[in-house]
């Protein structure tokens, strides 16, 4: 009896948490609007992971072939790969533009 009560009282909390996550994602790089910007990544490490506004959007090789669309405005681009120093770039992109991020990752020296 007690287990069921705990599960029922946790359900509204989980729904509220899920709605909060959805609302935060809706206001970031993945919400598209007219005038979306295409970001292409050119990186010397093909399997490097690319983040836009702290959200993983894919790998460098994918984003070199197929651009990632974001809303116009300010964005933070990060490119990471194990064994390499991370690359960061902040961009302020006008509507209907195209941006190429040239990320040259340098190996971490032991």
- Render pLDDT for 74-104 as a digit per residue (tens, 0 to 9): 999 999 999 999 999 999 999 999 999 999 9
What percentage of the chain carries pLDDT values higher than 70?
A: 70
Lowest-confidence segment of 29-33, 38-42, 95-99 by average pLDDT = 29-33
pLDDT confidence of 7, banded at 50, 70, 90? very low
pLDDT surpassing 90 at residue 25: no
How do beta strands 37-43 and 98-103 pair?
Answer: parallel
Query: For position 34, what pLDDT does the model report?
Result: 77
SS3 57: strand
Query: Full-prediction pTM beyond 0.95?
Result: no
Query: For position 57, what pLDDT does the model report?
Result: 96
- Looking at the domain covering 32-110, what would its CATH class be? mainly beta
DSSP 20: H
Closest listed residue to residue 90, CA positions, set 23, 99, 98, 82: 99
Q: What is the mean pLDDT of the chain?
A: 80
């Amino acid at each position: 009896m007690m287990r069921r009560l705990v599960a029922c009282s946790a359900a509204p909390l989980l729904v509220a948490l899920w709605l909060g996550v959805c609302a935060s994602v809706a206001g970031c790089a993945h919400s598209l609007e007219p005038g979306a910007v295409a970001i292409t990544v050119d990186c010397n490490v093909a399997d490097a992971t690319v983040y836009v506004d702290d959200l993983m959007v894919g790998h460098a090789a994918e984003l070199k072939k197929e651009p990632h669309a974001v809303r116009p405005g300010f964005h933070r681009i990060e490119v990471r790969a194990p064994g390499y120093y991370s690359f960061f770039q902040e961009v302020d992109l006008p509507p209907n533009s195209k941006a190429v991020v040239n990320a040259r990752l340098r190996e971490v020296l032991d």
